[in-house]
Amino acid sequence: MPSVAEIKKELDKIQTGYGMMSLTWKAEPVAKEIGFESIHKVMSLAKESGFKAFLNVGEFYGPDFSNLIYVREFFEKYPELRQHALVSCKGAFSGVTMTPQGSYDQVVESVRNCVDAFGGHIEMFEVARLDKSICKDGEIYPYESFKALAAMIDEGLIDGISLSEVTEEEIRAIAKDWGQYLTCVEVELSMFSTQILENGVAKANNDLGLVTICYSPLGRGLLTGKVRALSDIPKGDFRSALERFHGDSLVQNLKLVNFLEDEIVNKRPASNPSSLAQIALGWVKHWSFSAEYPKGKFIPIPSGSTIARVNENFNEERAKITDAEFEKINNFLKTFTTAGDRYEMHQ
């Protein structure tokens, strides 16, 4: 089992991770023959590049631990690949009531249940949301949640702790008490959701040497260019309830998509083409080389349930942007306002 230092060293090599929520958290999970082929491709690309694959799973990404079981069955089919993966699991959260469950006993139960469903130890575990309802007087974060995670590390069920959906103040407070166990911080970052660049979260990660794992780097599909109307979203997909994909909000949000296509994608030389999604992923990764975050590391974790999408998302050469393109995009973002908050529901 890797140490926290070894996990952080491996994370530093990774350019793109794999978000696995969309494999199972939908009306009909992705057929295993298709999903397994996609996971296998992710693993193969990582092996070819000489580093481990970062796989992001969740206790509540579907009913009855279906996400964890899905990935467990993949590794049962390809046991030789397990050693080439870094698995990060999100838990201690009710997928029914959508509320955190952060007491000591709840966190311990969550970790044990996840390890059982997954079929073995997990490299990183994160409470999906901090359970602020159990904070004692003066606590910035629920101390007992992390006491439980530390106990699970001591027991050998997990190797390290990742953080999820946290503020700058919470990151710094948790790092002060539990820094020896921390590996990375998972938060949302895309051109549509740049809050972590403005609220101190990215700066805290930079200062503390924590990798920033960036979920929804493609703006929940808007930055693929495949969503031009609400009808482009599959039936039963939770995105159809989000304000960003409705009416005037969608019209406003497509202004960013159109800018990227007109000013970046279409102006790339024929010898070095990139898709809209690759530009969006390249923008996230380019923050790793920015002057603002000299010690920063940003890893986008797009999904991808087909071989074609995995090949697109994990083509590291095509997902590089120039300093000039990065500056051009950021200058546009200064004048652009996303319509619809991250989880704002359409009324």
For residue 238, pLDDT over 80 is answered with no
pLDDT of residue 285: 98
pLDDT classification of 296: cutoffs 50, 70, 90? very high
For residue 24, pLDDT over 80 is answered with yes
For residue 235, pLDDT over 90 is answered with no
pLDDT of residue 27: 80
Rounded Cα distance, 42 and 38, in Å: 6
The rounded percent of the chain whose pLDDT value lies above 70 is 100
Q: How many angstroms separate the Cα of 209 from the Cα of each of 159, 160, 232, 262, 294?
A: 18, 15, 40, 36, 10
pLDDT classification of 155: cutoffs 50, 70, 90? very high
Segment 111-126 shows an average pLDDT of: 98
For residue 49, pLDDT over 80 is answered with yes
**Structural domains for the chain:** 4-221+284-319 (3.20.20.100)
Rounded Cα distance, 100 and 129, in Å: 6
For residue 139, pLDDT over 80 is answered with yes
Rounded Cα distance, 51 and 90, in Å: 22
Segment 237-247 shows an average pLDDT of: 81
pLDDT classification of 316: cutoffs 50, 70, 90? very high
141 contacts 174 by C-beta, under 8 angstroms: yes
pLDDT of residue 179: 98
Tens of pLDDT, residue by residue over 163-191, are: 999 999 999 999 999 999 999 999 999 99
Residue carrying the six token digits 């230092």: 5
239 vs 157, which has greater pLDDT?
Answer: 157
* Residues with catalytic function: 61
Q: What is the pTM of this model?
A: 0.96
